[in-house]
Each structure stands twice: as C-alpha cells, then as structure tokens.
Amino acid sequence: MSADKEKIKVLFLCTGNSCRSQIAEGWARHLKADCLQPFSAGISPGALNQTAVEVMAEAGVDISDQKPKHLNDLSRVNFDYVITLCDNAYENCPIFPAKVKLIHKSFQDPAFTPGTKQKILAAFRILRDQLKNFVEKMPEILETEYNKQK
C-alpha cells in the first residue's frame, strides 16, 4: 500500500477555489503532509488570487503553482472529509458518498475587503493565520468538528 493511501484525504471546498481553499490546501501540504492528502476545489472556480499567493509566501509557503479546480475535476477521488470553507459552498455542496464526512467551517473572504492595499493585505493575513490555526489541529479536530455538526 502506498503512503498516500494511508493518509486522510481532505477536500477544502469554496466557491471560487481562488483564495480560502487554496490557502488551506497550502497549509495542509506544508504542515500535515505526513498524515493528510489535501485537495482543494471550487463550485465555480476562478483564477488563483495573487494576494493569497503573496501572503502565503510571506509565511514561507509557496502556493503559486496551485491551480483552481472545479469540484468535478476531483470526482474520482475518494475523500474522507470535505470541508466547506464558505457558506455558498456549503449551501451548494453536492451529495457525496455516505462514507464522506462533511464539515462546514466558514471563513470570511478577504477578496471582498474594501479599502487600501494595506487593509486588503491585513484581511488576507488574518485569513491566512486563521486557516493555519485550523489546519494545525488536524487530523484530530476533524472528528470533533464532524461530530459537532451531526
């Protein structure tokens, strides 16, 4: 059995797969590669948000090669957990096989922050740090979060 088959397969799902889910996937690859096999996708994918790339680079994580994907692009992957990171993705989340555990953990989208470049960067940094904190608790937090929402 390959090492990846032993890892927990986690899908971070957002609307556009341009920011929140990309950051979460980046953190999971960076912090939890030993136990998680992370993926990200969107309900309606857009372009990778360059400010997300910038703030992750500040933290030493390169997500510049990650590509936004539609959820359908990952239809052959047997996920253990699907984590919706925004209300829209949760409300429009398709049906997954019964064994897949769905967790909803909504994070504010910094892409809609009004104001100066500094204010926008600050919002992205807050999200980056919130997602890092969430991912650092994995995989232990997954079952707890899933059971809270049942």
Neighbouring residues of 107: CB distance < 8 A, sequence distance ≥ 6: 20, 85, 86, 127, 130, 131
What is the set of active-site residues? 14, 86, 93
Quickly list DSSP for 4-68.
HHHSEEEEEEESSSSSHHHHHHHHHHHHHTTTEEEEEEESS--PPPHHHHHHHHHTT---TT---
